[in-house]
């Protein structure tokens, strides 16, 4: 390779090459998750408990829209990679351009709608009167950056499809630094509280979403994808959405489940429960970002080899991915158990009772990382195989069926601990389903189907 920022989708992937190829995507998502969490850190420490609860309560609604970009990017990245694997680079450029245009329009329209409906949405999410004003402010100011947020989520997958994943990491750092610096100025130095945090987030999203458009449209673009003039062709938009449906279903389900967690916690523990869950989710988001980044990086590779008809390489990618993810899951779970105390004190160390609740919650909740990575990968595997329906079934059942059922049922049996154990138990059930789906819908990856396979 002539350019050190360039990777190639073709060829054999051993463990070293897989890790080298997905590391930029992992770094990109981790950086993005960290600067998303910065809002919570500054609000928790400089704007008070009510503001912190307001941010945690409203964030799922914002993520539901932003995740549309993840759906289009993940499904579109696999589709574009498949087209490249089939040998049609110009067609891949056209499809890429169509999807970027659609993301921009979607972010603009939905951002305006949510800004108008902010008070109603805040009530739906369970905001009480002391939290209402701050919830509405946080939603509306975040909508300024919504077009950039949708684009930023989409480009996370397109960087890998363009064989330029390191550029994604670089852009995450730039947008993250923008957010962090503005948080320090607006929330800490100027005391703007929740409003300052939302403005900082919007600014970071606009940087991360619109710079890639400039790059992929310029003659300095060294990647294998190019934004070219073309009109929107809806069949490609539909295909990308169906193919990436699992990522959106998973995100929607996760945010619905988060809302239900908050409702249950308001019932059992009040604001302290919501705040503790917010801290747990921040840490879980960083850990989950490793798996999300891995899947973003590996999905276009699987899609390319699927398009090229290389069954042997698809099997190799499955086997090696399960091994890598299993090792990462053990490391994350042990880390959560060992460092629950220090991590909790970063956010809520000023409140001893809340700190104790958060530590207990983290140690129970994070047990899920022992197996959650495998379940997330299975969904990404079917996205790479351009089987969006099965991928969506895996994601939908994992979160909206198993976890939602657990979060409503287990507290009646185990009290507060039942809420924290809902995710680990849901992941055990999901693993059983994941194994079934592979043997039922992708048997060629686990069974010898002909002598040369």
The string of DSSP codes covering 302-359 is HHHHHHTT-HHHHHHHHHHHHHHHHHHHHHHHHHHHHHHHHHHHHHHTT-HHHHHHHH
- Residues near 352 by Cβ (< 8 Å), separated by ≥ 6? none
pLDDT band at 375 (very low <50, low <70, confident <90, very high): very high
Q: What is the pLDDT of residues 11-55, one digit of tens each?
A: 899 999 999 989 888 888 887 777 667 777 888 788 777 888 888
Task: For residue range 287-345, list pLDDT tens digits in order.
Answer: 998 998 899 889 989 989 998 899 999 999 999 999 999 999 999 999 999 999 998 99
Nearest-angstrom CA–CA distance, 361 and 353:
13
List the one residue out of 335, 248, 355, 251 whose CA is nearest residue 287: 335
Q: What are phi and psi of 13, to 5 degrees?
A: -115, 110
pLDDT for res 6: 56
Helices (H), 143-192: 146-161, 165-183
User: Which of these ranges, 109-123, 253-267, 419-433, has the smallest mean pLDDT?
Assistant: 253-267
Q: Is the dihedral of CA 96, 98, 100, 106 positive or negative?
A: negative
């Amino acid at each position: 390779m002539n350019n050190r920022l360039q990777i190639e989708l073709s060829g054999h992937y051993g463990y070293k090459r897989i890790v080298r190829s997905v590391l930029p995507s992992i770094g990109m998502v981790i950086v993005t998750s960290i600067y998303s969490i910065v809002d919570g850190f500054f609000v928790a420490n400089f704007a008070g408990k009510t503001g912190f609860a307001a941010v945690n309560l409203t964030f799922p609604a914002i993520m539901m829209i932003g995740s549309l970009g993840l759906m289009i990017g993940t499904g579109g990245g696999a589709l574009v990679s498949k087209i490249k694997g089939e040998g049609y680079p110009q067609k891949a450029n056209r499809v890429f351009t169509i999807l970027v245009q659609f993301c921009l329009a979607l972010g603009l329209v939905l951002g305006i709608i949510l800004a108008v409906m902010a008070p109603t949405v805040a009530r739906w999410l369970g905001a009480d009167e002391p939290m209402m004003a701050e919830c509405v402010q946080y939603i509306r100011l975040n909508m300024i950056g919504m077009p950039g947020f949708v684009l930023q989520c989409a480009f996370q997958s397109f960087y890998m499809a363009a064989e330029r994943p390191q550029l994604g990491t670089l852009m995450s750092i730039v947008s993250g630094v923008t957010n962090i610096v503005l948080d320090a100025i607006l929330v800490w130095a100027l005391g703007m509280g929740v409003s300052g945090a939302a403005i900082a987030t919007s600014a970071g999203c606009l940087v991360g979403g619109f710079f890639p458009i400039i790059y992929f449209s310029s003659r300095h673009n060294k990647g294998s994808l190019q934004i070219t003039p073309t009109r929107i062709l809806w069949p490609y938009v539909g295909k990308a959405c169906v193919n990436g449906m699992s990522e959106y279903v998973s995100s929607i389900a996760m945010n619905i489940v988060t809302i239900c967690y908050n409702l249950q916690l308001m019932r059992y523990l009040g604001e302290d429960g919501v705040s503790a869950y917010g801290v747990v989710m921040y840490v879980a988001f960083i850990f989950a970002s490793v798996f999300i980044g891995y899947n973003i990086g590996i999905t276009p590779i699987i899609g390319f080899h699927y398009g090229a008809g290389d069954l042997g390489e698809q099997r190799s990618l499955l086997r090696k991915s399960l091994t890598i993810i299993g090792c990462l899951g053990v490391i994350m779970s042990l880390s959560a158990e060992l460092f629950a105390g220090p991590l909790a004190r970063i956010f809520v160390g000023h409140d001893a009772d809340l700190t104790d609740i958060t530590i207990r919650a983290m140690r129970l909740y994070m047990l899920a990382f022992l197996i959650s990575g495998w379940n997330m990968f299975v969904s990404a595997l079917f996205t790479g195989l351009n089987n969006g329906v099965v991928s969506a079934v895996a994601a939908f059942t994992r979160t909206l069926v198993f976890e939602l059922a657990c979060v409503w049922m287990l507290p009646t049996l185990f009290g507060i601990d039942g809420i924290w154990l809902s995710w680990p138990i849901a992941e055990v059930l999901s693993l059983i389903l994941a194994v079934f789906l592979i043997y039922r819908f992708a048997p060629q990856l686990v069974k010898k189907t002909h002598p040369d396979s």
